[in-house]
Amino acid sequence: MSFLHFLIRFQPTDSADEPESLLYAGRAVARRLLLISTSTVFGTRYLEHAFSELREVLEGVRRVLFIPHALKDHAGYLAKARAAFEEIGFGLESLHEAKDPRRSVVEAEAIFCGGGNTFRLLNSLYTMDVLPLLRKRVAEGMPYTGASAGSNLACPTIRTTNDMPIVEPPSLAGLGLVSFQINPHYLDPLPGSTHMGETRETRIREFHEENDVPVVGLREGAILRVEGESVELRGRAGARIFRRGAEPVEATPVASIEALVG
Ligand code: ASP
């Protein structure tokens, strides 16, 4: 299913859980996204493994609007993210400091949404009533970048997060910037493990018992670059792609995966 077909398929419904990717349904979508599995790859600094991808996707941008709401300590998170973005030549403002959050989304040049607890992140964005504005700005071409929870947020729903529902958002519907789900920090089962909890693959199979949306299990270090209709796997790790009723498929960077996730 192409992204435009996805938009057309998800017309407004009464279900609160249905994605609201509707503001721009039927119009050409100029999306430019960078969806990062994890902000920190073991042995490297915060976002370091994504620096060159961030530079590329944010070309022409001077200031980025940071969404720190997945973590409790917004000020501390801003300081950490700002140091990384300044190192690669971008200013960073934070949504938590905005007097008028809706206005700062309208005026943003680009977004970076940080990781943490996905339920808390989504709940905060519902409270600020900025989700429709974010969708609209992305459809107009504003770059959206996110790591981990920030990548979950770009999906139709947050049903494939690894997080605990520590708060209860009004809906599980995310931004719906892509037509597939992401499972960040994707983990392969450890051979010989005695752990009896569900593997990640089992959890995703359970998701497909109830839902028919492809899931990209993004291993740490993997990055998705989305440009218009194209979805490219980049970064330093691969992805395992799950579709309802089919065997999972492996992808290694660099690969075009839109045919697998559409
Ligand atoms: N807690 C993760 C993060 O943002 C999100 C996830 O694993 O679903 O780092």
Q: Which residues line ligand 1 (CB under 6 A)?
A: 70, 115-116, 118, 148-149, 152, 161-163, 184-185
Q: Which of 39, 124, 148, 179 is catalytic?
A: 148
The pLDDT value given to residue 15:
40
Percent of the chain topping pLDDT 70: 89
Per-residue pLDDT tens over the stretch 125-173: 999 999 999 999 999 999 999 999 999 999 999 999 999 999 999 999 9
Has 49 been annotated as catalytic? no
Q: Which of 104, 163, 171, 179 is catalytic?
A: 163
118 Cα nearest atom in ligand 1: 5
Residue that wins the pLDDT comparison between 23 and 152: 152
The pLDDT value given to residue 159:
98
Q: Is the distance from CB of 212 to CB of 244 less than 8 angstroms? A: yes
**What is the distance between the alpha carbons of residues 174 and 151, in angstroms, rounded to a whole number?**
10
- The mean pLDDT of the chain is 91
Expressed in angstroms and rounded, the spacing between residue 28 Cα and the centre of ligand 1 is 31
Per-residue pLDDT tens over the stretch 35-49: 999 999 999 999 999
Q: What residue owns the CA closest to ligand 1's atom 5?
A: 149
Has 185 been annotated as catalytic? yes
DSSP the chain: --HHHHHHHS---S-TTS--TTTTTTS----EEEEES-S--TTS-TTGGGHHHHHHHTTT--EEEEE-TTSS-HHHHHHHHHHHHHHTT-EEEEGGG-SSHHHHHHH-S-EEE--S-HHHHHHHHHHHT-HHHHHHHHHTT--EEEETHHHHTTSSBSTT--S--SS--S--B---SSSSEEEEEE-PPPTT----SPPHHHHHHHHHHH----EEEEETTEEEEEETTEEEEEESS-EEEE-TTS--EEE-SSEE-HHHH-
Asked if the model's pLDDT at residue 13 lies above 90, the reply is: no
Expressed in angstroms and rounded, the spacing between residue 186 Cα and the centre of ligand 1 is 10
Confidence of residue 3 (pLDDT cuts 50, 70, 90): low
Expressed in angstroms and rounded, the spacing between residue 161 Cα and the centre of ligand 1 is 7
Q: Is the distance from CB of 5 to CB of 178 less than 8 angstroms? A: no
Expressed in angstroms and rounded, the spacing between residue 198 Cα and the centre of ligand 1 is 17
Token pair belonging to 248 = 């999972």
**Ligand 1 probe mutation, 162, 183, 215, most atoms within 8 A of CB:** 162
Has 148 been annotated as catalytic? yes
Q: Average pLDDT for residues 6-17, to the nearest whole number? A: 43
Q: Is the distance from CB of 65 to CB of 101 less than 8 angstroms? A: no
Expressed in angstroms and rounded, the spacing between residue 196 Cα and the centre of ligand 1 is 22
**Ligand 1 probe mutation, 47, 117, 118, 186, most atoms within 8 A of CB:** 118
Expressed in angstroms and rounded, the spacing between residue 27 Cα and the centre of ligand 1 is 32
Asked if the model's pLDDT at residue 209 lies above 80, the reply is: yes
CATH of domain 29-261: 3.40.50.880
Q: Which amino acid is at 217?
A: G
The pLDDT value given to residue 30:
85
Burial 1-29 (b: 16+ CB within 10 A, else e): eebbebbeebeeeeeeebbbbbebbeeeb
Specify whether the backbone of 100 is left (phi greater than 0), alpha (psi in -120 to 50) or beta. beta
Strand partners, 182: 216
Per-residue pLDDT tens over the stretch 229-248: 999 999 999 999 999 999 99
**What is the distance between the alpha carbons of residues 241 and 102, in angstroms, rounded to a whole number?**
35
183 Cα nearest atom in ligand 1: 8
Per-residue pLDDT tens over the stretch 80-137: 999 999 999 999 999 999 999 999 999 999 999 999 999 999 999 999 999 999 999 9
| Extents of the domains making up the chain | 29-261
The pLDDT value given to residue 18:
41
The pLDDT value given to residue 78:
98
Task: Tell me the whole-structure pTM to 2 decimals.
Answer: 0.91
The pLDDT value given to residue 193:
86
Q: 222-227 and 32-36: which strand pairing? A: antiparallel
**Ligand 1 probe mutation, 40, 121, 148, most atoms within 8 A of CB:** 148
Q: Average pLDDT for residues 189-208, to the nearest whole number? A: 91
